[in-house]
Chain A
Amino acid sequence: MKDRVAVVGVGCTKFGDLFDKSYEDLICDAAFAAYDDAKIDPQEINASYLGTYLPGPNGGKAAVSLGDALRLYDRPITRVENYCATGTDAFRNGCLAIESGAADIVLVLGAEKLKDRGGRGLPRLGHPLLAKGNSAPGLFALAANRYMHTFGMGRETLAKVAVKNHFNGARNPKAHLQMEVTEEQVLKAPMIASPFGLFDCCPTTDGAAAAILCRADLAKRFRDDFILVKGYGLAVTTGRPYFDPTFDYLGFRSTQMAAQQAYKMAGIEASDIDFAEVHDCFTWTEISNTEDLGFCKKGEGGRLVDEGRTRLDGDIPINPSGGLKSFGHPIGASGVRMIYECVEQLRGQCGERQVRAPELGLAHNVGGPGAVSCVVILGNN
């Protein structure tokens, strides 16, 4: 499936506390930005995939949430939900539609309105007794504590991830948090769920992002600098790792599997990737993901950070956009937003945060935690 799908347009809203924007506003802003980028007449779109994790009172439920917002009727639209991998999986489904011949041109759009809910973080879901008391930071913290216990890594290394991603985000006008932080600030911030302090956690954010995909042989109709889909992968493991006696909590098998699928499809190895947008919902998650994606061996992700190799000027820049940490994490939107960043980077449009002449970029989400991961590899030739 390598090189059969092209990305010819992307769009992204400002991410943040968008109290004055509705779910429909976000969809329209992202979609029309992508239409403009591709210079496409929306009526040419054959099918759409909407990624939203939490259905809200004002949208995000089913196909109609996208159809009504954009008045995009009389064609297939599907809502995709797959935990934090929702956005990347929506993109993957768009690819499948084109590769199967069912569609020539597809709109993939991820949107999430978290700030309309009030309260703290995400709402409580699931079984009324089992795993009650879990929070998103708490779940990843379970793994972080075990990892740090096993490999002897300290909170200082976690803090360096936050410092780096805030540095990158401060150079990104669409990011939610556009300020730099110091290691000391990160370490002294109030605790959220040990070992994560406030600056180890991504914010709760509103936002939407969109991508226009088409059959690769049609891409030149839209633009010369189109981006090709090189590979993708998705894998699922247990959504209850805390009940799995075989789970070591040192990383996520779903990411390892999804990455292997994507590398195989692309015919490359992890070392061929020039930069990556990696799921850094928490600082530790980025470290563990760089290992699971194969950028280093298990247990060495912290050293990668300590040595500065994941910075913009490092040999494997991670989250040049600022990541979820700084850009924000409107769950269903994040994966598509990462693809947006990859496309802009591969086109060389990122200004101050542009990584050096990249040819292959990778976007990755993990959710659950570890229950589902999705990896997408994009290239510019």
Chain B
Amino acid sequence: MVGIAGTGIVGITGWSTYVPRLRLDRRLINQAWGTAQLAGTRAVANYDEDALTMATEAVRALLGENGGSVRGLYFASASAPYWEKQIAAVIATACDLPRRLFTADYSGSARAGTAALIAALRAAQAGAADDAVVAAADVRVGSPESELEGLLGDAAAAVRVGTEQVAAEFIDAESIAEEFTYLWRIDSDRYVQAQPGRFSSQFGYARDLSEAIGALLERNRLSPKDISKLALYSPDARAASDLAKSMGFDPKTQLTPSLVPTIGCAGSAEAFLQLAAVLEGAKPGDWVIVGSFGEGADALLFRVTDAIAQAQPASRLREWIDAGVPLASYERYLKFRRIVEGDEPTEAIANVLEFKELKQDVRLYGSRCRSCGMVQFPIARVCLKCRGRELEDHRLARRGGVFTFTVDHLIANIEHPLIMSVIDLDGGGRIYLQTTDVAADAVQVGTRVTLTFRRLHEGGGNHNYFWKARPVRVRGDA
């Protein structure tokens, strides 16, 4: 099924994952409400994280300094921080991608991720875009005390689609469209609702997804035993396993372990996380099926190539999962999601200022002096060191070391205390940033940090994003 205008095969050329640092032990929810929750933990986006910022982490980890050739960016989420404002364009700008770029947001259900992936793959097959990134992220919130609250988990992942160095060749895809209300959220509500139980998984999830997978197998003359691994979205801890068994797959060997015990059900990102887990252990020749559900189902078929070894990401999903640390209390989770009001600073950012300083504040450029070489931030008109006027725009490195810091207990913030750090960036330039994802006693002079795009504060009816620093968490952390 090689694309009409394509010269070679089309498929996955790279991937990355991002799991936020904090884990909420579900026993804390039990203690708060006396309700029965699943065992294990769920990943919790920090108070300054949302689907936009986590997707940005995943895209940056995938592209690094190498985003220049990307021609498309798709963002998929069921919990985007805006109803009207395109998230993909914000991510592209924060990742300093070129302006000449196709961007689109996909939303509405956990199937948004695979929908975007299919669109990117079909576009590449058609020769329309030979290099694109699909990022999926979700920070879904179940109402306090509900089972869903503990089941859902926050995470992001990104998949790069292209025609060069293809690690998993795209063979075929099948989709089913059907109205079936399983997980939903009406436009005026913040909490996801679910119709739980066997009825939903059997007549919604299992019926639609097995129909898609079955059609995919049949058309490609494959049987379940030919498939090396399934990478399936699962709305609960066992639905994917039940589905696999009912279709004649062996859940033990053909299904990657559920993420529910560690991360939780990660919405749009879940099928991508499962795919990452599969590809991180795949061998050339492996057949992989990716499947996802939501008002119908998507199933995609891939064949792993020899390029799989070179395509492995700098940091693997397992490392992100293992790098989690416990959230101190359930009440903090309520604050992080603004269910309980925190000490939140609000400040509006004028649209004109945002427009004027986009390169500096979002793309994160400073200046470099052509005379003396000094790299400086913010963008300067006269050199700080030699007072020369020959300055050029300079892309700042996203990593550095702490020159000095303070742990501030006074300043208004949802999370206390607030750590502020002065960071000498690799390759020059110094920046002063809020420091996040870190215990109060963990920052010292010399601590290595990576910069991360976060929700800085609210104001003017807007989310205001800016860079923060966070300690390097895993190998290859961008």
Contacts and interface: CB of A to CB of B under 8 A. Distances in A.
Interface of A: 120-121, 124, 128-135, 137-138, 141-146, 149, 190-195, 238, 240, 242-246, 249
Contacts of A133: 408, 411, 413, 418, 420, 433-434
5 contacts: A132-B434, A135-B411, A243-B377, A245-B374, A246-B374
Contacts of A240: 378, 432
A193 B406 contact: yes
B404 A130 contact: no
Leading 4 A-B pairs by shortest Cβ distance = A242-B432, A141-B406, A146-B404, A194-B407
A134 B413 CA distance: 11
A134 B420 contact: yes
**Interface SS majority for chain A:** loop
Interface string B353-365: 1000100010000
Interface footprint category on B: 35 or more
Nearest to B357: A129
A131 B423 CA distance: 12
A133 B415 CA distance: 12
B430 A245 contact: yes
B428 interface: yes
Contacts of A144: 406
A249 B403 contact: yes
Contacts of A193: 406-411
B387 to A, nearest CB: 12
B404 A145 contact: yes
A190 B409 contact: yes
A129 B374 contact: no
B327 interface: no
Contacts of B357: 129
A142 B405 contact: yes
Interface in B154-212: none
A195 B202 CA distance: 59
B412 A120 contact: yes
B36 interface: no
B431 A243 contact: yes
Given A120-B412, A133-B411, A245-B376, A145 B406 contact: yes
A132 B413 CA distance: 11
Nearest to B466: A129
B347 interface: yes
B406 A194 contact: yes
Interface string B212-253: 000000000000000000000000000000000000000000
Contact of A124 (B347, B376, B378, B409): B347
Given A129-B361, A193-B406, A249-B404, A138 B377 contact: no
Nearest to A137: B410
Given A124-B345, A146-B445, A244-B430, A238 B384 contact: yes
A160 B351 CA distance: 49
Interface in B375-400: 375-378, 384-385
A245 B378 CA distance: 12
A121 B375 CA distance: 34
Interface string B330-357: 0000000000000001011110010001
Contacts of A191: 407, 409, 417
B343 to A, nearest CB: 10
Interface string B417-452: 110101010001111111000000000010000000
Contacts of B361: 129-130
B404 A142 contact: yes
Nearest to B361: A129
B410 A120 contact: yes
Given A124-B347, A129-B464, A133-B433, 13 more contacts: A128-B350, A130-B378, A133-B420, A138-B410, A142-B420, A145-B404, A145-B445, A146-B445, A191-B407, A193-B406, A193-B408, A243-B432, A245-B424
A245 B429 contact: yes
B457 interface: yes
Nearest to A191: B409
Given A124-B347, A128-B464, A132-B466, A242 B409 contact: no
A131 B348 CA distance: 15
Contacts of A137: 406, 408, 410
Contacts of A143: 404
A144 B406 CA distance: 9
A149 B445 contact: yes
Contact of A132 (B350, B384, B429, B457): B457
A131 B378 CA distance: 11
Nearest to B457: A132
A131 B412 CA distance: 14
